[in-house]
Amino acid sequence: MSERDAFRRDALTGDDLTLAYDGRTVVHGAHLALRPGAVVALVGPNGSGKSTLLRTLARLHTPTAGSVTLSDRDSDSDHDGIDALALRPKDFARQVTLLTQSRPTPGGVRVREVVAYGRHPYRGRFGGGDPDGHEHVERAMRLTGVHAMADRPVDELSGGELQRVWLATCLAQDTRVVLLDEPTTYLDLRYQVETLDTIRDLADEHDVAVGVVLHDLDQAAAVADHIVLLHAGRVRAAGTPAEVLTAELLTDVYGLRIDVTVDGSGRVHTRPVGRHSDRFLPTT
């Protein structure tokens, strides 16, 4: 990290967040900060609170306690921030977007029209006032590989194709914070890799702050600058992939032996060890 990056303010911060459903606390005092130009991956077992935490940053879940702060990009002060929960929906949507795990499939609508939904924060009451909208829609479709299917009805698409369309819709929103909840779900290997590449491009080339929930630990290690490991609603560890993805910690959190290796480039690789894992080892 450069000296300049070390002093950059977080774009979106959730501080000391306590989250509950039906009176039952599911996340306890969590902290999560997203910084421009960096990818933060949330990992952990099912039910650990990853998606709930991400949805809270997107204002889809109201915290029982704690705060969500959006930095003031027009201020030079390190202490200035905006209460994200108090912003008007359209103002918030111009700065933060979320790709959820599932969305209803609209009928009788073509791909280009769905991607154009991402421009809603910039339009006036009667749909006008967005002169750059077409350019952003076209760019989002190119980035996600759906441009060739722009005129196809979305209700004829496969699950993987539809996932890429919804990702394009988020990118068309052109926000400085992008939240992604399991974006590689339903995707084949090629598009999993391309989606991870797009996530890195958003951070590296467009200075976007990215928060992403991933189940695949190796994908998290490959794409993230910073990893937050959750377990039973609490942050168990946070730091670089090498700091967080250790055999001891992962084995404890997942309740399964997980071996960890680091290759010559410093990349972390994980291997869950089941009762029949030896059957899959290469022979010499």
User: Is the predicted pLDDT of residue 129 greater than 80, yes or no?
Assistant: no
For residue range 38-48, list pLDDT tens digits in order.
999 999 999 99
Taking the C-alpha atoms of residue 168 and residue 145, their distance in angstroms, rounded to an integer, is 9
Going from the N-terminus, what domains does the chain have, and what CATH number goes with each? 3-95+176-245 (3.40.50.300), 102-174 (no CATH)
Per-residue confidence band for 118, with pLDDT thresholds at 50, 70 and 90: very high
Phi and psi angles of residue 16, each rounded to the nearest 5 degrees, phi first? 50, 45
Residue 96 has pLDDT above 70, yes or no: yes
Question: Would you place residue 275 in the very low, low, confident or very high pLDDT band (cuts 50, 70, 90)?
Answer: confident
pLDDT at position 3 is 36
- pLDDT confidence bin for 123, thresholds 50/70/90: confident
Residue 208 above 70 pLDDT? Answer: yes
Match 């918030």 to its residue by tokens: 92
CB neighbour burial string for 226-256, b if at least 16 within 10 angstroms, e if fewer = bbbbbbebebbbbeebeebbbeebbbebbee
Nearest to 193 by CA among 164, 165, 157, 228: 164
2-33: per-residue pLDDT in tens?
Answer: 433 444 578 999 999 999 998 899 999 999 99
> Residue 1 above 50 pLDDT?
no
Q: Residue 111: what are its φ and ψ, rounded to 5°?
A: -55, -50
The pTM of this model reads 0.90
Region of residue 189 (phi > 0: left; psi between -120 and 50: alpha; otherwise: beta): alpha
Percent of all residues in the chain with a pLDDT value above 90, rounded to a whole number: 78
